[in-house]
Chain A
Amino acid sequence: MLEIFASALSDILTFQHIGYMMIGVLVGLMIGVFPGLGGIAGLSLVLPFLYGLDTTSALAMLIGLIAVIPTSDTFASVLMGIPGSSASQATVLDGFPMAKNGEAARALAAAFSASLVGGIIGAVILTGFVLVARPVILSFSSAELFMLSVFGLSMVGVLAGKSLVKGLAACGVGLVIGSIGGAPATGEFRMVYGVDYLYDGIPLVIIGLGLFAVPEIVDLMRRDRSIAGNTGLGAGWFSGLRDVARNWWLTLRCSSIGAIIGAIPGLGGTVVDWIAYGHAVQSTKDNPRFGQGDVRGVIAPESANNAKEGGGLLPTLLFGIPGSGAMAVFLGGMVLLGIQPGPSMVGTNLDLTYTIVWSLALANVLGAGLCILLAVPISRLTLIPFKLLAPFMIVVICFASFQATRIIEDMVALLVLGVLGIYMRRFGWPRPALLIGFVLATQAETYLYQAVQFYGWEFLTRTGVMIIIGLTLGSIWLGVRSKASSSSREELLAEEPAHAPGLAENIRARAPQLAFAGLMLVGFVLAVQDALKQSFLGQVFPLVMASAGGLFTLGVIAFLAFGRVNTPAAVDAESGIGTDEDPPERSMLASLFWLAALVALTAIFGFFIALIVFFIAFLQFRARASLLMTALLTTGAAGFVLTLAYSLNMRFPGGLLQDLYRLPWPFS
């Protein structure tokens, strides 16, 4: 054993190894900063250089690349409220409010040092875990995976905010959206309505961007100030480092959660950050300010998502099953290098496995260290007047949205989900609850069906399942307790007190909220109607979920119609009900119009021409920038997007023009 450690260490601690790793880290950093571009894009950049390298150097480069991406995507999550990848969606919840409070540098420093610690702890856990990983991974059958999805879903209780019934309804919306596309048990297509795009279901990236980034961008455009407002940069990065030190126990717990959940194939890295975030919320007793910029809401997901990459290595190396997109890329790279995953990775190739695991830890240190250094200069972005930043951000989220499939439908889906996100934000429907439902819809359905097929309903009596049921109940209890301490019973259940205002008065005051809830109800009815057309195995999941979601929505409607004046179910940011924010000055539609304009222009002229027209129009008519400024910013944006697309061999989505004429790149 010791000689294996020694041989792995001597492989890693060479100038050459660290040098190549540094190249990977730098490339990953440049790519990862840009939302929507992850390991996948990074691989195509590094790949040409892999040829002719020896195996360890090439591996070092690959590992450097994938290690830094869940770290660097934090920049966009914290500074702009754009979830850079599925790994940092939960970071947005508190990271972006911190940036808006002028604490961007502190949030970033805390995030990066949490990442660093997470990466190292992940590697430490893995060092021992590798040896027993095969039997442990094999003990997680479809039954345990189903219960783990239920455990994930139970986080809705924690993430629902003040009104539980709204959280459950939002989760139902997520579950229904997640069941669009092929049914796992039968392959029949649900709710596709003949639209090719829906056959594959809606990509997670677009749900994240639509729900979190679009509403924030629209809101900021309506306020016309910089992201940090008038508060300046405030507390520096040193306090961020202190935050992690002070919350070392939380960091340690979340890192372990990340490493272990990441190692279980099938659950995927997509829920890790939410589970860690939910854990932080339910276990924090002193003075929680989650959702308004609590640094613990940044530390928890960030320490988990770096540890997760290490965990994700195990199923990739031992079974050839990549747990995430980045791991799929890594697996592809390994195969190109002639390394085949399999049991030999804990046998004859054990030293290679340790080289990989420890390289990941080292790469995390290098990557997070670089990011900490960059945190202060990059956080100055939040001081730029938003009207100049807005066109960049709109282009960036559109660019990120079509990374999945590179077609205009991605942008249309972004727009539609963006509108949904805007109204959910306005009426206080918890967006994280929708996201959890969406992420776990397919997994919950698939594993339940498989568990019943393999074990019958007795699967519920399996030891592993019972343990996870216990964990779930414990987590619900913790959540209820932390909620009960911070809110009254009436608030939690949105109970109706004796002296309620009249129905007519409520309807008058809450018409927009009622209309939105009514629309959600229509959505559930459509889902039920579609489910009834499917075979039994194809319909049972969406039918149950949509019916439950519909019932909860009816509950929301009932609270809105009959509830007392300040029932937590009633929130309307536009009229200041149930929120601390001032209603913004400009109209929502005017701001949304600009995003819609870019989508419409793309549909006609293709993305690249649309980008130029959009930039000029926005800067001239909305930002009222000078001609010189307009020219400079437009050229800068076009040049940047062009360089990026060129180096990634990427095509832009085309429009009508491209259907009619064959144009040279980048217009094609």
Chain B
Amino acid sequence: MTDITRFTRRAALGVAAMAAATLALPGAAQAEYDFSGQTVEWIIPFGTGGGSDTWARFNAPFLSRHLPGNPTVAVVNEPGGGSTRGTNLFAARAQADGLTILGTSGSTQFPYLLGDPRVRYEYQDWSVVMVGPTGGVAYTSPSTGISSVEEIADLQGQRLTYASQGATSLDLVPMLAFRLLGLDVNYVFGFGGRGDGRLAFERGETNIDYQTSSAFINNVTPLVEEGTAIPLMSWGVLDEEGNPQRDPTFPDLPILEEVYEMVHGEAPSGDLYEAYKAFNTAGFAAQKMVVLPTGASDELVEVYRQAWRDVFADPEYQATVTDALGEYGQVTDAAAEALFRAGTNIGDSVRQMVVDMLQDEYNVRLGD
């Protein structure tokens, strides 16, 4: 939990960039866009009270404070269709006037990457202005006979059980990771959330699980301390070049790439790993995105990025962000751009491989 400096540094860089930008374009962008007295609708394709909603509601007042003219920023929930409905609505209706923005999540990215027939939106038409990353940690039960990740090879050949929310949910990431490691996992579906899955683990019904970072810290760390859970690996974070690194929140935990080397003796490669990388980025490193609709001008994108730079530099934001959103800093500009690209692109052969795998092994039909 020491390494948040990386993101704070980025925020500092942001402040510098902002200063430079203000010097270069003295108020040009600001003058054209003044939202005084107007309302910016921030579409959240999820219901009230969930992770995405909480994230948006935390950010909204800061965004309002730093957009030119201090418009009201209203979070508008448009849930349905696993977030495809609200997103489709945004794609079909939103005008590029800066008054409608969209907040997406991993569950919006996944159907898009998988070619779900309900998806009628195209990420590449949009402009990303902010990305909020998160992380996750996989852990197992001591009943498997292992006492640390070094012994992970002993898990091979065992029948492991995992409580899953569904094969096309964020649980696709651990599914791909376990597959890469050659683990034989029985997925029991129909869980309402990761919290329900953790309960099944605590009851001893499952013996392998993952939690997002904040849930891991609050709910699994006590289990680790009493010796009923063994952390295995984190999903890692991406550095500026897009290379996987250890998660600064869990510097002592290896990432999948390291564990893969432990097991197989070589660095991971191939379609399966490519799939893991794409979905891991879309689900965690680039989980939450704020985008502007098709046709947003460069000035408008700059107005929004400037606003986010100012938000990140706001002392009140800095004082409260960790409590509300966890240790992962939100980013804009090039860093957001890079995460956006990595999280919304997938090779055709890789996609086909995942779709076929889902269909053959888990009866998920995405074609019809």
Q: Do A and B come from one complex?
A: yes
Question: Using a CB–CB distance below 8 Å, which chain A residues touch chain B?
Answer: 40, 43-44, 47-48, 51, 137-139, 141-142, 182, 184-188, 196, 199-200, 265-266, 319-322, 325, 328-332, 335-336, 338, 340-344, 404-407, 445-446, 449-450, 453-454, 535, 537-538, 649-651, 662
A649 engages B74 (CB within 8 Å): yes
Interchain Cβ contacts under 8 Å between A and B, 25 examples: A44-B75, A51-B61, A186-B364, A187-B189, A199-B82, A199-B118, A200-B81, A200-B82, A265-B199, A320-B219, A328-B48, A332-B54, A332-B57, A335-B54, A336-B57, A338-B320, A340-B214, A340-B217, A341-B218, A404-B79, A405-B80, A454-B200, A538-B363, A649-B39, A651-B76
Task: Tell me which residues from 50 to 109 in chain B have a Cβ below 8 Å from any Cβ of chain A.
Answer: 50, 53-54, 57-58, 61, 74-76, 78-82, 85, 93, 95
- In the complex, what residues of B have CB within 8 A of residue A142's CB? 200, 205
Decide: A188 and B363 in contact? CB cutoff 8 A: yes
Is the CB–CB distance between B363 and A184 below 8 Å?
A: no
Partner pick for B205 among A137, A141, A343, CB 8 A cutoff? A141
Inter-chain contacts of B78 with A (CB < 8 A): 405-406
- Output the nearest chain B residue to A330 by Cβ-Cβ distance: B49
Chain A residue with the shortest CB-CB distance to B88: A196
User: Which residues of chain B have C-beta atoms less than 8 A from A182's C-beta?
Assistant: 166
Contacts of A330 in B (CB 8 A): 49
**Chain B residue contacts of A340, Cβ below 8 A:** 214, 217-218
Cα separation A490 to B163 with both chains bound (whole Å):
49
User: B186 is contacted by which of A43, A139, A453 (Cβ under 8 Å)?
Assistant: A453
Select A446's contact among B47, B54, B190, B320, beta carbons within 8 Å. B190
How distant is B115 from chain A, measured CB to nearest CB, in Å? 15
With A186-B364, A187-B168, A449-B190 as given contacts, are A138 and B218 in contact (CB-CB < 8 Å)?
Answer: no
Report the bound CA distance from A662 to B82 in whole Å. 26
Q: Which of B54, B95, B198, B214 has the most CB of A within 10 A?
A: B54
Partner of B198, one of A266, A319, A662: A319
Which residues of chain A are within 8 angstroms of B323 by Cβ–Cβ distance? 338
Closest chain A residue, CB of each to CB of B206: A454
A185 and B47 alpha carbons, distance in the complex (Å): 23
Q: In the complex, how many angstroms separate the beta carbon of B249 from the nearest chain A beta carbon? A: 14
Q: Is B353 part of the binding interface, using a Cβ–Cβ cutoff of 8 Å?
A: no
Binding site for A on B (CB under 8 A): 39, 41, 47-50, 53-54, 57-58, 61, 74-76, 78-82, 85, 93, 95, 118, 161, 166-168, 186, 188-193, 195-196, 198-200, 202-203, 205-206, 214-215, 217-219, 222, 320, 323-324, 362-365
Give the distance in Å from the alpha carbon of A331 to the alpha carbon of B49 in the complex. Answer: 7
Chain A contacts for B200, CB-based, 8 A:
141-142, 450, 454
CA distance A652 to B189 in the complex (A): 35
* Complex Cα spacing A283 to B189, Å: 38
Contact present for B190 and A138 (CB under 8 Å): no
Closest to A454 in B: B205
A344 CB contact (under 8 Å) in B48, B82, B218: B218
Contact A185 B189 (CB under 8 A): yes
Selected contact of B61 from candidates A48, A184, A332, A450, CB within 8 Å: A48
Closest to A343 in B: B222
Least Cβ distance of B197 to chain A in Å? 10
Partner of A405, one of B39, B58, B85: B85
- Taking a contact as CB atoms under 8 Å apart, the answer to whether A321 and B320 are in contact is no
Q: A342 with B218: in contact, given A186-B363, A199-B118 (CB under 8 Å)? A: yes
A330–B54 alpha-carbon span in the complex (Å): 11
Q: Is A185's CB under 8 angstroms from B190's CB? A: yes
What residues of chain A lie closer than 8 Å to B95, measured between beta carbons? 662
Additional A-B contacts beyond A319-B219, A336-B58 (16; CB < 8 A): A40-B47, A44-B48, A141-B200, A184-B189, A196-B85, A200-B80, A265-B199, A266-B192, A319-B198, A319-B199, A328-B47, A329-B49, A341-B218, A406-B78, A450-B205, A662-B93
Contact A43 B48, CB 8 Å, known A185-B190, A199-B118, A405-B85? yes
Given contacts A266-B192, A535-B363, A649-B76, contact A342 B49 (CB under 8 A): no
CA distance A340 to B217 in the complex (A): 10
Q: Is there an interface contact between A453 and B188, defined as CB atoms closer than 8 Å?
A: yes
A137 to B137, CA, bound (A): 24
Is B203 in contact with A138, judged by CB distance below 8 angstroms?
yes
Query: Closest CB-CB distance, B225 to chain A, in whole Å?
Result: 10
Q: Which of A47, A138, A187 contacts B364 (CB 8 A)?
A: A187
User: What is the bound-complex CA distance between A446 and B85, given in angstroms?
Assistant: 25
Q: Which residue of B lies closest to A340 (CB)?
A: B218
Residues in B with CB closer than 8 Å to A538 are 363
| Cα of A48 to Cα of B72 in the assembled complex, Å | 11
Given contacts A138-B203, A332-B57, are A342 and B80 in contact (CB under 8 A)? no
Closest to B220 in A: A342
Q: A187-B168, A187-B362, A344-B218 are in contact. Are A138 and B202 (CB under 8 A)?
A: yes
- The answer to whether A321 and B190 touch across the interface, beta carbons within 8 angstroms, is no
Contact of A320 among B50, B57, B205, B218 (CB under 8 A): B218
Instruction: Tell me which residues across on chain A come within 8 A of B61, comparing CB atoms.
Output: 48, 51
A138–B363 CB distance below 8 A:
no
Residues of chain A within 8 A of B219, CB atoms compared: 319-320, 341-343
Contact across chains for B195 and A187 when beta carbons are under 8 A apart: no
B198 CB to nearest chain A CB (Å)? 7
For A43, give its contact among B49, B76, B195, B324 (CB under 8 Å). B49
The interface residues of chain B lying within 8 Å CB-to-CB of A445 are 190
Closest B residue by C-beta to A537: B363
- Give A258 Cβ to nearest chain B Cβ, in Å: 21
Chain A residues with CB under 8 A of B198: 319
Which chain A residue lies CB-closest to B196? A321
CB-based nearest B residue for A42: B48
How near does chain B come to A523, taking the closest CB pair, in angstroms? Answer: 23
CA distance A142 to B49 in the complex (A): 25
Contact of B196 among A40, A199, A265, A343 (CB under 8 A): A265
In whole Å, how far is A190's beta carbon from the nearest beta carbon of chain B? 12
Tell me if A454 and B188 are in contact (CB < 8 A): yes
Nearest residue (CB) in A for B79 is: A405
Say whether B188 contacts A325, CB under 8 Å.
Answer: no
Q: How far is the CA of A650 from the CA of B74 in the complex (A)?
A: 9
Contact B215 A336 (CB under 8 A): no
- The reply to whether A266 and B196 form a contact with Cβ atoms under 8 Å apart is yes
Tell me if A332 and B161 are in contact (CB < 8 A).
no
Q: Which residues of chain A have C-beta atoms less than 8 A from B205's C-beta?
A: 141-142, 450, 454
Give B78's nearest chain A residue, CB to CB: A406
Q: How far is the CA of A363 from the CA of B47 in the complex (A)?
A: 26
Q: A40-B47, A196-B118 are in contact. Are A47 and B196 (CB under 8 A)?
A: no
Contacting residues, chain A, for B168 (C-beta < 8 A): 187
Rounded to whole Å, the gap between the CB of B299 and the closest CB of chain A is 21
On whether the beta carbons of A321 and B76 are closer than 8 Å, the reply is no
B324 touches A335 (CB 8 A): yes
For the complex, give the distance between the alpha carbons of A611 and B363 in Å. Answer: 45
Which chain B residues border A188 with CB–CB below 8 Å? 363-365
Report the nearest A residue to B214, measured CB to CB.
A340
Q: Which single member of A321, A329, A450, A535 contacts B195 (CB below 8 Å)?
A: A321
- For B320, the chain A residues whose CB sits under 8 A away are 338
B195 touches A319 (CB 8 A): yes
Pairs of residues from A and B, 3 with the lowest C-beta to C-beta distance, nearest first: A338-B323, A184-B190, A328-B49
**Distance A188 CA – B363 CA, assembled complex (angstroms):** 7
Asked whether, in the complex, the Cβ of A199 is within 8 Å of the Cβ of B81, the reply is yes
- How long is the Cα–Cα vector from A342 to B39 in the complex, in angstroms? 37
Chain B contacts of A332 at CB under 8 A? 48-50, 53-54, 57
A450 contacts B49, C-beta separation under 8 Å: no
Q: How far is the CB of A399 from chain B (nearest CB, A)?
A: 16
State whether B362 touches A186 (Cβ < 8 A): yes
Q: How far is the CA of A527 from the CA of B58 in the complex (A)?
A: 44
CB distance from B318 to the nearest CB of A (A): 14
B55 to chain A, nearest CB (A): 9
Residues of B close to A322: CB separation below 8 A: 49
The reply to whether B167 and A187 form a contact with Cβ atoms under 8 Å apart is: yes
Q: Given the complex of chains A and B, what is the CA–CA distance between A184 and B217 in angstroms?
A: 29
B110 to chain A, nearest CB (A): 12
Tell me the bound Cα distance from A186 to B358 in angstroms. 10
Give the residues in chain A near B82, CB-CB below 8 Å.
199-200
